[in-house]
Amino acid sequence: MFLSDASWTADFGSHGTALDLTDTAYGVAAKAAPPASTALPASILDTATYEGRLIAAPLWISYQALLYNKDLLEQAGIPFPSSDPTSSITFEELFELAQQAQAAGAKYGLCWDQPDQYYARQPMIESAGGGSGLTGPDYLTPDVTNEGWVKGLTYYQDVFAQGLCPQGVPNGQMDPIWNAGDVAFYIAQAPVQGTVDATDFRYGVAPVPGFADGRPVSPSGSHGIAVNPNSPNTEAAIDFLTFASLTPAGGMAATELINQPVLPAATTARLNANIKADPRLQGLSQIVKYTVDNLSVARPPSPKYNTFELATTKAIMDIRNGADVTATLADLQEDLQQLLSR
């Protein structure tokens, strides 16, 4: 068995690297109709499926939520955003509120915990109508210069250009800035992994934002377990997958490592335990459920996803640090055309 991130689904699926789990005991249980205690949401199974074949047992989920620092918002006279999962704030409103919070003394108005990663920016671009950036039957045709891409990433660049978030801070170094109480609004990936536990200020949770003329969108897909098709012990492997991915006990055990369990029942139990430990996360349970069921988009299921992601992540990094949006995306389009033709 081996861990298979959602970014590898199409690569492993197209190369036969992983056993097809569709018709195994695991696949049947995972795809059972919703009242069944083992049923996984379709949006989660999609992230591990390539051309109709289930190639990994999802273990964890990914999603985004908006955190806000209550002290900084109060200081600026900004009402707290609603925690109703169906009423997301818009990016346009968020920009103005972030400026307002900064004017009232917050060091930074609006930041993201994974500032460069493509898959963490994909939701914003999708919300702007840009699509995933890959089209065509095998998702090997780049489409990163359309209006939605320009709109989404221009907004992103403006946030940094206006000083609402510091430029040049890499992945993994944003959390300490939020934890220090310096950020008014913070869009975070699965924000209950201990990263925010270190804070001692008051904060709240709201659903992920979207553009005014689009819909709010969240990323999805995390690591799962795949099985080596040449393994002599596939039956034992499938028993293990069923335990780890489809039982509350397996789900809870998985969360001792990272993130949120994939099984809704285990997710709810874990979230409730978190919320009990930290009442600031009130409302997160409903937000996660609604986000996973209704707002999540999968990464484009391209066998060349990782090539696409690296090139795109670099372009996002450049744009965040001030490179011209249209020119950078045009270069990216050209590079991708060449790389994906291989």
Residue 338 touches another protein, criterion: CB under 8 A: yes
Which one of the spans 57-65, 200-208, 277-285, 311-319 is the region binding another protein (CB under 8 A)? 311-319
Which one, 272 or 337, has the nearer CB to another protein?
Answer: 337
By CB under 8 A, name the one of 150, 169, 253, 269 that touches another protein.
Answer: 169
Structure tokens at 149: 């891409």
- Candidate ranges 72-80, 204-212, 241-249, 307-315; the one touching another protein (CB under 8 A): 307-315
Alpha-carbon span 342 to 338, nearest angstrom: 7
Of the residues 109, 304, 325, 329, which one makes contact with another protein according to CB under 8 A = 304
Q: Helix or strand or coil: residue 183?
A: strand
Closest distance between another protein and the C-beta of residue 315, in Å?
9
> How far apart, in whole angstroms, are the C-alpha atoms of residue 147 and residue 117?
20
The interface with another protein within residues 39-78 (CB under 8 A) comprises none
User: Smallest distance from the beta carbon of 54 to another protein, in angstroms?
Assistant: 20
Identified binder of another protein from the candidate list 53, 146, 150, 166, rule CB under 8 A: 166
Q: Are strands 296-297 and 218-219 parallel, antiparallel or unpaired?
A: parallel
Q: Which of 167, 282, 326, 337 binds another protein (CB under 8 A)?
A: 167
Per rule CB under 8 A, is residue 179 in the interface with another protein? no
Binding of another protein at residue 328 (CB under 8 A)? yes
Q: How far is the CB of 115 from another protein (least distance, A)?
A: 11
Q: Does 20 bind another protein (CB under 8 A)?
A: no
Candidate residues 222, 242, 313, 333; the one interacting with another protein per rule CB under 8 A? 313
Q: Does 265 bind another protein (CB under 8 A)?
A: no
Q: Give the nearer residue to another protein in terms of CB position, either 169 or 275.
A: 169
| Among positions 180, 212, 277, 310, the unique one binding another protein when judged by CB under 8 A | 310
* Pair of tokens at residue 155: 């907004």
Q: Are 106 and 75 in contact (CB under 8 A)?
A: yes
Residue 105 binds another protein (CB under 8 A): no
Cα(182)–Cα(121) distance, rounded to whole angstroms? 22
Amino acid at 140: L
Q: Does residue number 14 form part of the binding site for another protein (CB under 8 A)?
A: yes
Beta strands in the chain (DSSP E): 2-5, 49-50, 53-54, 57-58, 60-61, 64-69, 108-112, 134-135, 141-142, 183-189, 203-207, 218-219, 223-226, 260-261, 296-297
The one-letter amino acid at 228 = N
Which stretches does DSSP call E strand in 126-174? Answer: 134-135, 141-142
- Beta sheet of 2-5, edge-to-edge order: 2-5, 223-226, 57-58
From candidates 170, 212, 213, 229, binder to another protein by CB under 8 A: 170
Contact 160, 167 (CB under 8 A): yes
Does position 322 interact with another protein (CB under 8 A)? The reply is yes
- 177 or 271: CB nearest another protein: 177
| Amino acid in position 239 | D
Closer residue to another protein (CB): 93 or 334: 334
- Per CB under 8 A, the segment of 56-64, 230-238, 240-248, 301-309 that binds another protein is 301-309
Is 105 buried (19+), middle (13-18) or exposed (0-12) by CB count in 10 A?
exposed
Residue 179, classed as helix, strand or coil, is helix
Contact pick of 25, 252, 275, 339 for another protein (by CB under 8 A): 339
Report whether 208 contacts 218 (CB < 8 A). Answer: yes
**Site residues for another protein per CB under 8 A:** 11, 14-15, 166-170, 173, 303-304, 306-307, 310, 313-314, 317-318, 321-323, 328, 335, 338-339, 342
